[in-house]
Structure 1
Amino acid sequence: MDFLDGNPVDADSLKALALTNLGHFTSLRVDDGMAKGLSRHLDRLVRDCRTVFDVELDRARVLSFVRHAAAQREGTFIVRVTVFDPALGTAHPGAEARPRVLVTCRPAAHDLPPLRVTTRAYQRDMPEVKHTGLFGQLALRRAVQRAGFDDVLFTDPETGVVSEGGTWNVGFVDDQERVVWPEARVLSGVTMRLLQEVHTSVSRPVTPDDVPRMRAAFATNTSVAVRPLSAIGDVQLDAEHPVLADLRQRYEKIPGDRV
């Protein structure tokens, strides 16, 4: 069951997401009642609510809604928290906002294979915000999947540097076995930041011309943690590189927060 401000949601309350789609969200993985980086996800919601709606979100209230929804399930699953105002429409989005909190749950994926991706020039609107405007990246994901790939990796249309995946951050392992995070305008993912805290890494611009010199690459978000990339375009990568295994092990050891 899905909940809006802690109560079962009805279809009418969701019309604004379907018709206007002005909002922001975060997703977190719950394993046996624990979630890594829970406080960071709440920080993101508070920060993005200021940016999108110019409203101070009640952090404790949001957490109570998450706990209420999570208590209805067991095991491992993904909780998505979406903040939007059903009263705002396309004609007057500048009206004073009274955001509401939608909490939904879905099963978590397990044992996903490595990804074959290809690059496309694209920059998300307000890339630093995890907003609900997903049309651009999903349209490109659809296009590359129909061309035989699993997903898309974006490059900045102006500078050409690698930025992020369709719904994930990307990291590389260079020829010195260092983890490299591309410098670009991207969504600063919670999982990426947790990995940066537990594994030595560097940040620098990465271009498509740099990719053949990389030993490995991986996608990372709350759903997949560390998912290898087996290829970027025609460049084959080592999906079994030991640094990737080390990253996964270090991530698994990060303590979770009680939901």
Structure 2
Amino acid sequence: MMELNGAPADPEAVKALALGNYGHFTSMRVDGRRVRGLTLHLERLQRDCRAVFATELDRDRVREYIRRAVVGQDGSFVVRVSVFDPALDMGHPSAPATPHVLVTSRSTGRLPMPPMRVKAVPFVRDVPAVKHIGLFGALHARRAAQLDGFDDALLLGPDELISEGVTWNVGFVDNDGAVLWPKAEVLPGVTMALLQQQHPHVITHIAQHEAHRMQAAFATNTSIGVRAISAIDSTRFPAEHPVLAALRDGYLAIPGDLV
């Protein structure tokens, strides 16, 4: 399914998204026509539209486009909402923009997902606070990690401080059983926000060399929920931990908003 502004997508308009690579998006997991953190996803789209295009996005209009994508689909799947302007010229990105809304859907796996092994690599995404479509650098880091035998890459900022994953936030459980989130320039993930609302936590600097002191590590985003990290480089973590189970169960228990 691919619709642009609520109608079948014009390939010429969508081509601009691929060639220009300027825009932003959010992805949301749909379970039984419900989305956990739907309001947060809509707020993200509005916030990022201001940052990327300096204009307001109509939340009600976007929600209606999402509703069109959900109707007739059963089970669990992911809806992606991409915002871009097909008329925006690469030579003049400062021109006034008229954002278009592209809605697509894809299948997704069952939760919970199996643990994954990640490789720590130095990399900071462009404009980290915006969920933009410029993914080359991050996907290149993922590819390199996978070619080295890992499942994904964990990104390190200045001074080897842990920041986030390629397309996910990362969290830890320390020796006292506290949930720690990295204090760094990261994407403010919707799933991370939902977990922070539910579970006591601390946001603090976490250096790469401090990871081995942690009891557990996990990744979060809308597609994977709470996914255990079983290794960062050569440091291993248990695939199961009571705090991870509590985070996972609490997230899955969120009823979600009806689209």
Q: Shorter-chain TM-score: which interval?
A: over 0.9
Q: Deviations over 1:33-86 (max 9, x none)?
A: 111100000000000000000010011101110001111311110000000000
The letter for the 2-side match of 1:229 is: I
The within-5 A match list for 1:1-259 is 1-110=1-110, 111-156=112-157, 158-259=158-259
Aligned residues of 1:16 and 1:89 also touching (Cα < 8 A): no
Q: Deviations over 1:7-33 (max 9, x none)?
A: 011311111111111000001111001
The letter for the 1-side match of 2:244 is: L
For residues 32 and 108 of structure 2, the distance between their equivalents in structure 1, rounded to whole angstroms, comes to 12
What secondary structure is seen at the aligned counterpart in 1 of 2:159? coil
Q: Deviations over 1:75-118 (max 9, x none)?
A: 11000000000011211211110000000000011253211001
For residues 249 and 193 of structure 1, the distance between their equivalents in structure 2, rounded to whole angstroms, comes to 16
Structure 2 unaligned regions, length at least 5: none
For residues 49 and 13 of structure 1, the distance between their equivalents in structure 2, rounded to whole angstroms, comes to 18
Q: Deviations over 1:208-230 (max 9, x none)?
A: 11101001100000001100000
For residues 2 and 165 of structure 2, the distance between their equivalents in structure 1, rounded to whole angstroms, comes to 28
Give the paired residue count: 258
For residues 88 and 151 of structure 1, the distance between their equivalents in structure 2, rounded to whole angstroms, comes to 33
What secondary structure is seen at the aligned counterpart in 2 of 1:103? strand
Q: Deviations over 1:105-145 (max 9, x none)?
A: 00011253211001011110100000000000000100110
What secondary structure is seen at the aligned counterpart in 2 of 1:159? helix
Task: Calculate percent identity across the aligned residue pairs.
Answer: 54
For residues 237 and 29 of structure 1, the distance between their equivalents in structure 2, rounded to whole angstroms, comes to 27
What secondary structure is seen at the aligned counterpart in 2 of 1:140? helix
Aligned residues of 1:80 and 1:103 also touching (Cα < 8 A): yes
Question: If the length of structure 2 is used for normalisation, what is the TM-score?
Answer: 0.98
What secondary structure is seen at the aligned counterpart in 2 of 1:82? strand
Structure 1 unaligned regions, length at least 5: none
For residues 33 and 144 of structure 1, the distance between their equivalents in structure 2, rounded to whole angstroms, comes to 35
For residues 188 and 18 of structure 1, the distance between their equivalents in structure 2, rounded to whole angstroms, comes to 25
What secondary structure is seen at the aligned counterpart in 2 of 1:226? strand
Question: If the length of structure 1 is used for normalisation, what is the TM-score?
Answer: 0.98
Moved over 3 A (4+): none
The letter for the 2-side match of 1:126 is: V
